[in-house]
Amino acid sequence: MRSPLSRRTVACLALPLALVPFVARAAAPVAISIDNFAFTPQVLTVPLGTIVTWKNGDDIPHTIVDTGGAFRSPVLDTDDAFSFTFATVGEYGYFCGLHPHMTGRIIVTRG
Amino acid sequence: MEPQDTSQDGPTRRFLLECMTWAGTGVLWSVAAGLPQAAMLGSAEAAEAAFSFVQISDSHIGFDKVANPDPLATLHEAVEQIKALAQKPAFVLHTGDITHLSRPAEFDAAQQMIAEIGLPVFYVPGEHDVLDEGRGRAYLDRYGAGSRGAGWHSFEQHGVRYIGLVNVLDLKAGGLGNLGNEQLEWLENTVAGLSSSTPIVVFAHIPLWSVYPEWGWGTEDGARALTYLRRFGSVTVLNGHIHQIMQKVEGNVAFHTARSTAFPQPVPGTAPSPGPVRVAPGELRKLLGTTSVSFVPGRQPLAIVDTPLAG
């Protein structure tokens, strides 16, 4: 005979598994390339929960710094990448901490 | 050289281009009371200089890409070039980007190599030297003794006042190099008590003047710094960052950027980005080099000579 506790445990374990296909459909990961001292795409609109990954294709290191302080990458050397999950709706302006003339914007929508 | 038309705001484009060409082929560049003069290398003026110092810049130790897989080797060549100078310089200025990624091993390698010169070395950081988690803490721990704030400092030698400024921190989105209020106030106070006849040498990593804002080659509040220096009869501003020689004279202020010892960067607007320029191996050393600055007491000229590592 199963105790109520173990039934709850089973339910807790099952819940995240059930959510996985939903989350994956709602917010597929998106990539931003860094080449020739520029972010491409420069302006990106994504649904809530999206994981955005920046990858540096330049011979020179760059960093990703949110003007509002939500995220700040370590230094990205050639072929290094940095990811951030956008869990809050809004507009995020960011730039390269080494070369601040490099700017980009991410708009996070409800999806 | 054609006489400079002083009725204009600045030197003509042709004048500038002539100076740039000459600098690249080893011409002595001097500034006396704000009037630029040029003479060939090895002239009497160079020989009678009472004291000189050397500027090196952008050694980027840790860089390993095609443009120069071994910047420690080219820094070594620069070190040997300085050791071989006929007139022993008083000291060395390094105008930043000592390392490529601010890693301790990169700082160590650079420090050991530069120590071989056997002269005092004064530094300012480049943006590549403040990439540690502490945003410049690693640089300050190593080079910041006696400095203020992020590493700005000032000293006097042979009657010349030297001021090292830091313009690579707290950069703003869409902006250029940044000095900030605190440092600018410090600069104002530092020069306040000096006689206007004191020759001033300012050194900082990013050019204090607007070289090419499209690539971030300039300093947001550089003009404010220059207002504090306007009353001085001789001001020389030495920068790095752009990995090529550029010169400009504005009133009594002579601006000069040094070559890198690691890799060249493109002339503004001639490439899609300011990334490293890849050249044939035999050409690289013609585009790298050191800068020697001489001072002749009494006449107040600062003579700037750029020497490539080869060619």
Q: What is the ipTM of this complex?
A: 0.82
Q: What is the pLDDT of residue B87?
A: 85
Nearest-angstrom CA–CA distance, B148 and A29: 45
Q: What is the pLDDT of residues A39-95, one digit of tens each?
A: 999 999 999 999 999 999 999 999 999 999 999 999 999 999 999 999 999 999 999
In-domain check, residue A44: yes
| Domain-located, residue A38 | yes
- Sign of torsion, CA B79 B118 B257 B164? positive
In a domain, A18, yes or no: no
A1 found inside a domain:
no
Q: Please indicate, yes or no, if residue A73 is contained in any of the structural domains.
A: yes
Q: Would A76 be classed as within a structural domain?
A: yes
Instruction: Say whether A100 and B65 touch across the interface (CB within 8 A).
Output: no
| Inter-chain residue contact B100 with A93, CB threshold 8 Å | no
Q: Do A37 and B100 touch (CB under 8 A)?
A: no
Q: Does A30 touch chain B (CB under 8 A)?
A: no
The conformational region for residue A37 under phi > 0 = left, psi -120 to 50 = alpha, else beta, is left
In a domain, A101, yes or no: yes
Report yes or no: B97 and B59 within 8 Å, Cβ to Cβ.
Answer: yes
Nearest CA in chain A to B62: A77
Give contacts of A77 with chain B, Cβ < 8 Å.
Answer: 101
Which residue is it, tokens 């959510």? A19
Are B206 and B219 within 8 A, CB to CB?
A: yes
B166 within 8 A of B154, measured Cβ to Cβ: no
Per residue, the 3-state secondary structure of chain B, as one string, reads CCCCCCCCCCCCHHHHHHHHHHHHCCEEEEEECCEEEEEECCCHHHHCCCEEEEEECCCCECECCCCCCCHHHHHHHHHHHHHCCCCCCCCEEECCCCECCCCHHHHHHHHHHHHCCCCCEEECCCHHHCCCCCCCHHHHHHHCCCCECCCEEEEEECCEEEEECCCECCCCCCCCEECCHHHHHHHHHHHHCCCCCCCEEEECCCCCCCCEHHHCECECCHHHHHHCCCCCCCEEEEECCCCCCEEEEECCEEEEECCCCCCCCCCCCCCCCCCCCCCCHHHHCCCCEEEEEEECCCCCCEEEEEEECCC
Q: Is residue A60 helix, strand or coil?
A: coil
Q: Is the dihedral of CA B8, B230, B295, B179 positive or negative?
A: negative
Interface test with chain A among B66, B99, B131, B265, by most A beta carbons within 10 Å: B131
Under DSSP, the state recorded for A84 is E
- Minimal Cβ distance to A100: which of B65, B100, B174: B174
- The residue whose two tokens read 């403040």 is B130
The pLDDT score that the predictor gives to residue B51 is: 80
Cα distance between residue B136 and residue B168, in whole Å: 10
- One-letter amino acid at B102 equals S
| CA separation for the pair A74, A97 (Å, rounded) | 10
What's the pLDDT score for residue B233?
92
Closest CB to A60: pick one of B176, B272, B275.
B275
Q: Between chains, do A101 and B101 touch, taking CB under 8 Å as contact?
A: no
Q: What is the pLDDT of residue B61?
A: 98
CA of A36, closest CA in chain B: separation in Å?
Answer: 5
Q: Give the pLDDT of residue B102.
A: 98
- Whether chain B has a CB inside 8 Å of the CB on A95: the answer is yes
Residue A10 identity (one-letter amino acid): V
- Other residues' Cβ atoms within 10 Å of the Cβ of residue B259: 30
CB B225 within 8 A of CB B208: yes
* Topology, domain B11-308: Purple Acid Phosphatase; chain A, domain 2 (3.60.21)
Decide: residue B102, CB within 10 A, 0-12 exposed, 13-18 middle, 19+ buried: buried
Domain count, chain A: 1
Tokens found for residue B243: 């990995």
Q: At what angle do helices B104-115 and B71-83 cross, to 10 degrees?
A: 20
User: Which residues, other chains included, contact B42 with Cβ-Cβ below 8 Å and sequence gap of 6+?
Assistant: none
Q: Residue A14: pLDDT above 60?
A: no
The pTM score is 0.84
Q: What is the CATH number of the domain that holds A54?
A: 2.60.40.420
User: Nearest residue on chain B to A68, judged by CA atoms?
Assistant: B173
For residue A102, give its domain range.
30-109
**CA neighbor of B186 nearest in space, from B170, B202, B165, B204:** B165
For residue A26, name the pLDDT band (cuts at 50, 70, 90).
Answer: low
Return the ∠ at Cα A52 (arms to A46 and A56), rounded to 5°. 135
pLDDT of residue B297: 63
pLDDT of residue B311: 76
| Chain B nearest C-alpha distance from A101 (Å) | 4
Residue A48 CB neighbour total at 10 angstroms: 16
Q: pLDDT per position in chain B (311 positions), as tens?
A: 333 433 334 444 444 433 333 332 333 333 343 333 444 334 444 445 578 899 999 999 999 999 999 999 999 999 999 999 988 999 999 999 999 999 999 999 999 999 999 999 999 999 999 999 999 999 999 999 999 999 999 999 988 999 999 999 999 999 999 999 999 999 999 999 999 999 999 999 999 999 999 999 999 999 999 999 999 999 999 999 999 999 999 989 999 999 999 999 999 999 999 999 999 989 999 999 999 998 876 555 578 888 899 87
Contact call for residues B121 and B92 (beta carbons, < 8 A): yes
* Predicted local confidence at residue A25, as pLDDT: 52
> Per the domain annotation, does A54 fall within a domain?
yes
